[in-house]
A and B are shown apart, each in its own frame.
Chain A
């Protein structure tokens, strides 16, 4: 996939100058007695990539459906580039990539992207540079039903990008893609983000979210538990994991570790601590033959789990 920028079209309306491209405030939604969203606020700025994370049933899909205008707003307010996303004209400023779409088998790649251009209010010719941008320029006459999984995802991306959207909504966009396809996918999006396209990403691939998102919004049971940079969320967890190989007996270890809990698997010692530097110094002082020493920080996944556990404890207290 190349990253040739499209230059033939005028930039389409995005957010008001300085304003967010997506603005959600006080959004509430219920399915019968079940609360799906309980007063969610969210802002996405032009060029920003925000990852919506959370367990199944957290409210991610409801929030995304409201953002892309597929779902009426029960209470609260949703604006895309300052307008109601239920309006067709507003939705034309959105691009959406779903986990999978079964394209009509009988239609060809070029026909589908040209059709997407017309649906976005543009001339069919607007498809040509986007096809090149996502690396489908040589496959315009191939039927969609004959594309590989990665090619189909690139086709979806082309259809989402052809309208030069101010906001791109991605729902598990790289599931099932190989590493090369993933990197190409995010490279293409990186170029678009440089030009101001904002990205709202929902995914269960937390490592990927940590790598590509500027901000992570953690949803659980319809509420925003945290919204910050991935590194800031990870820093909320003080613990580091230390592992090393040692022949010291447990009794000596307990003494040198000042009572900190640890686990052993043969020679392999593992412990979690908020005083990593001090603990490492103690271990090195106690055992001159210490080997395979490792200190690892918490992952975004661990931070998410900790945040959700804490929220649930507070709710039940």
Chain B
């Protein structure tokens, strides 16, 4: 009896071309899914932007961390807005695809799983940028934007790149549980973490215990990394924490994926 050689073969140029086209189709499908799903708009766009406008109208022109609060909130509520997309959508999406057999159908049709997953994460990026753009426009419209657009763009870039490890965590959960459970688990992480990291209200206005907890939360370090773009504060420690978190999330996603394979 002959044992079949199953070693991976290098993809040909044709394979790579097809893969690139497939990635484009997958991203487009994901974007269509987001745009055509009203519930996603409510929870991932309307809620963070709505909170932002609410707090902006209440505290927008007060000073906060060296700038007008309306600008500083781009780092805090902006972090929440970006995470509401990048943490929630990929995990819930992959859990739904698993449940309905769509993920298997894609694997059968020769779509490499990393392409499917990359598409889910990539589709969250323009969505997250849209949330940040809406917040920026709102801050500017209410006279609370006191940072140059280049600085705001840096904040957006940091938030989008810094949110990618959260997408990995999201996938790790999406590979283990069903869509409803994934939504519940991810919300159970995001909402308390947002409060404890000072994403909704400044930590100075909250009980001291939350400040002590915050330093252990990656959500806090992401917001501080964004803050550093606005006020020039130190960023290396926050970046290192996020790199470590990214490594852990990647391992969790890989383990979770392997255990869920048919």
In the complex, A44 has a CB within 8 A of chain B? no
A84 CB to closest chain B CB, in angstroms?
7
A102 touching B99 in the complex, CB below 8 Å, given contacts A68-B108, A70-B108, A77-B2: yes
Interface string of A102-116 (1 = CB under 8 A from B): 111011000100111
> Which 9 residue pairs spanning A and B have beta carbons closest together?
A102-B100, A91-B110, A106-B36, A88-B110, A26-B1, A73-B4, A106-B33, A96-B108, A121-B18
Residues on A with C-beta less than 8 A from B105 are 96, 98, 101, 159
A86 touching B6 in the complex, CB below 8 Å, given contacts A68-B108, A102-B101: yes
In the complex, A39 has a CB within 8 A of chain B? yes
A104 touching B3 in the complex, CB below 8 Å, given contacts A89-B14, A115-B29: no
Q: How many residues of A contact B (CB 8 A)?
A: 40
* Residue of chain B at shortest CB distance from A99: B101
* Residue of chain A at shortest CB distance from B97: A104
* Residue of chain B at shortest CB distance from A123: B21
In the complex, B154 has a CB within 8 A of chain A? no
**Contact, CB under 8 Å: B36 / A101:** no
Chain B residues engaging chain A, CB cutoff 8 angstroms: 1-6, 9, 11-12, 14-15, 18-19, 21-22, 24-26, 29, 32-33, 36-37, 97, 99-102, 104-112, 262
Cβ 8 A contact of A107, one of B2, B22, B33, B112? B33
In the complex, A76 has a CB within 8 A of chain B? yes
Chain A residues 63 to 87 lying within 8 A of chain B, measured CB to CB, are: 65, 68, 70-73, 75-78, 84, 86-87
How far, in whole Å, are A282 and B29 apart by their CA atoms in the complex? 72
**Contact, CB under 8 Å: A107 / B1:** no
Known: A84-B5, A92-B18. 6 other contacts (CB 8 A): A75-B3, A77-B2, A84-B9, A102-B102, A104-B33, A118-B22
Residues on A with C-beta less than 8 A from B5 are 84
A-B contact pairs, 24 of them (CB 8 A): A28-B1, A73-B3, A75-B1, A76-B3, A76-B4, A77-B2, A77-B4, A78-B4, A84-B6, A86-B6, A88-B19, A96-B108, A96-B109, A100-B101, A103-B102, A106-B32, A106-B33, A115-B29, A118-B18, A118-B24, A119-B25, A119-B110, A121-B14, A121-B18
Residues on B with C-beta less than 8 A from A98 are 101, 104-105
Chain A residues engaging chain B, CB cutoff 8 angstroms: 25-26, 28, 39, 65, 68, 70-73, 75-78, 84, 86-89, 91-92, 94, 96, 98, 100-104, 106-107, 111, 114-116, 118-121, 159
A70 touching B36 in the complex, CB below 8 Å, given contacts A28-B1, A87-B9: no
**Contact, CB under 8 Å: B32 / A107:** yes
Residues on A with C-beta less than 8 A from B19 are 88
How far, in whole Å, are A75 and B11 apart by their CA atoms in the complex? 24
**Contact, CB under 8 Å: B110 / A84:** no
